[in-house]
Structure 1
Amino acid sequence: MSATVSFTAPTPHGPRDVTVSYAREGRGAPLLLLHGIGHHRQAWDPVTHILAAEREVIALDLPGFGASPALPAGLPHDLPTTAAVLAACCAALGLDRPHAAGNSLGGLLALELGRLGLVRSVTALSPAGFWTEPERRYAFGVLTGMRAMARRLPGPLVERLSRTAAGRGALTSTIYARPGRRSPEAVVAETRALAGAEGFAETLRAGRRVRFTDDVPGIPVTLAWGTRDRLLVPRQGPRAKAAVPGARLVRLPGCGHVPMNDDPALVARVLLDGSRDHPASALSTSPSTVLL
């Protein structure tokens, strides 16, 4: 069931009132799920029921995306501000250092929360921030084109396209390796979410300056990349591993940029493995596993 929470966030630009939409289910250690730019929390639906058997799953609509309003006027949708908002959101929801998992922009945010010591583990699926400048320009160009198409297509045409595998591929093949597996209803909903995302332009603008170069020490970190990621290409994985040397780097065979839909069982296993509680002593002695 979806709900909203309102709270005051102590942002770098002063305290501001923020409202976030979320869904919460399951039992066990809390696991915070953060989606990518232009998407919404329903991106996690293919794996949520699997995760909820072992975790309390909290999937958020990031500010300015899905059902969450944009940040208040004067607040940039940049990394420090959004991280401060997410930390305040966790406090409002009674989450004390949850596990965090994210995809794309959400993966970058999860890593930032880990760097700040606000979560107990991080699993990042194709996280943003490990690009070269040409790779960033390419990805941002693709995202801008996807947004323009989503805003331009009439609703009845989107619904008609969604009814066939070929049509779903035309709408979503940039982010899914197996777009035919996505349900027509989900494709329509995420196309509308992309078209209506209030925070899209500001988030993309702030992302031009982002490079994630800091380590995330003291907690387990898993980095996972789909072998068929056409947006943040798989060669960024080893680059991310070099920046976070204690992380596991995991290969997701046959998966695209948003892998939860392409192989739900594999992605759920990676998320569950990455969000297990590990004794602190194990973090310094366990070797990293490089699978990509």
Structure 2
Amino acid sequence: MALTSRRLGSGPPLLVLLQLDRDAWGPVLERLAREYEVVGVDLPGFGDSPALPETSTPTVETLAAAIAEWLPDVGLTRPPVVGNSLGGAVALELARMGAVGSAVALSPIGLWTRAEAAYALGSLRVAHAMARACAERPGWIAGHPIGRTVAFWQLVARPWRIPEEAAAGALRNLARSPGFERTRRAVRAYRLRAFMPEVPVPVTVGWGTRDLMTPPHQALRAARMLPGARHLSLKGCGHSPMSDDPEQVSQVVLDAIGA
């Protein structure tokens, strides 16, 4: 696929998977770009990347396969990868495939029960409807702390602190992502499988202590499912920790890659 990507900085390559959280990654990418050539790619169907063909169901595994096939086209060979939420699950599947050299997964989906998946994806559907309703004037919501809280409470621990520009960008991205609804339906059945016989590459899994979308008790399931991975908590962060504490997230990524 012809996916949309952008590069920042110089040094060894670092792949960052972007989707609805693209604007939230901005400060983190700038920090990582001081030491790495950061390649941020919009997952198929999100941001400026086209959706998968109608004949292909956008499951987590299918999205990972699309990224793996795209890597040689842009000159990347088994780079370290970082992703959040859906991107975190795709990062873990890329690690399973051996397509990347290491993986950092923040609040990955797929460690949920059926009820938890319904809640998380249902709340995103409401957020999507809100974003589409104000697509032409996102400032109506993004311009006020109360509006930002209503729009992002399930994703960010302190949504009223999101910069107005970042909030407006997130709403626009959510409203226009062509693959959102198909992907939302497709990933509901996804469950992370244990790596057999073991994690093939270094893996770090981080979970926000104030995550309302995929609550921190799912981190306990991650630890049981991936005993060979490194597990850590992102203190004071919600489901999108890049918005709450970009410095903490940057340091987690740098430490994981350096290790």
TM-score by length of 1: 0.84
The yes-or-no answer on 1:101 pairing with 2:85 is: no
Q: What CA distance in whole angstroms lies between the structure 1 residues aligned with 2:135 and 2:221?
A: 40
Deviation at 1:199, TM superposition (A): 0.7
- Match of residue 43 from structure 1: 24
**Could you list the runs of 5+ residues in structure 2 that have no partner in the other structure?**
none
User: Which of 148, 170, 194 is residue 168 of structure 1 equivalent to?
Assistant: 148
Find the residue that maps to 2:2 and give its secondary structure: strand
Contact 1:77 1:202 in 2 (8 A): yes
Amino acid corresponding to residue 92 of structure 2 in structure 1: L
Report the number of matched residues: 257
* Greater RCO (Cα-Cα under 8 Å, separation 6 or more): 2
RMSD over aligned Cα atoms: 1.5
- Match of residue 200 from structure 1: 180
Matches within 5 A, 1:25-44: 25-36=8-19, 39-44=20-25
The structure having more radius of gyration, on CA atoms, is: 1
Q: Which moved more, 1:124-133 or 1:65-74?
A: 65-74
Amino acid corresponding to residue 53 of structure 2 in structure 1: P
**Could you list the runs of 5+ residues in structure 1 that have no partner in the other structure?**
1-17, 279-292
Contact 1:172 1:179 in 2 (8 A): yes
More strand by share: 1
Find the residue that maps to 1:57 and give its secondary structure: strand
Find the residue that maps to 1:229 and give its secondary structure: coil
Task: Render the CA deviation track for 1:255-286: whole Å, top value 9, x for unaligned.
Answer: 0100011001110000111112x5xxxxxxxx
TM-score by length of 2: 0.94
Matches within 5 A, 1:260-271: 260-271=242-253
Deviation at 1:40, TM superposition (A): 5.0
Q: Which moved more, 1:176-185 or 1:252-261?
A: 176-185
Find the residue that maps to 1:143 and give its secondary structure: helix
Deviation at 1:80, TM superposition (A): 2.8
Moved over 4 A (4+): none
The yes-or-no answer on 1:21 pairing with 2:4 is: yes
- Match of residue 4 from structure 1: none
Are the structure 2 counterparts of residues 159 and 184 from structure 1 closer, same or farther at C-alpha, using a change threshold of 3 Å? same
- Match of residue 257 from structure 1: 239
Are the structure 2 counterparts of residues 40 and 139 from structure 1 closer, same or farther at C-alpha, using a change threshold of 3 Å? closer
- Match of residue 177 from structure 1: 157
Find the residue that maps to 1:74 and give its secondary structure: coil
Q: What CA distance in whole angstroms lies between the structure 1 residues aligned with 2:189 and 2:146?
A: 36
Task: Render the CA deviation track for 1:208-232: whole Å, top value 9, x for unaligned.
Answer: 2211122252321111011111101
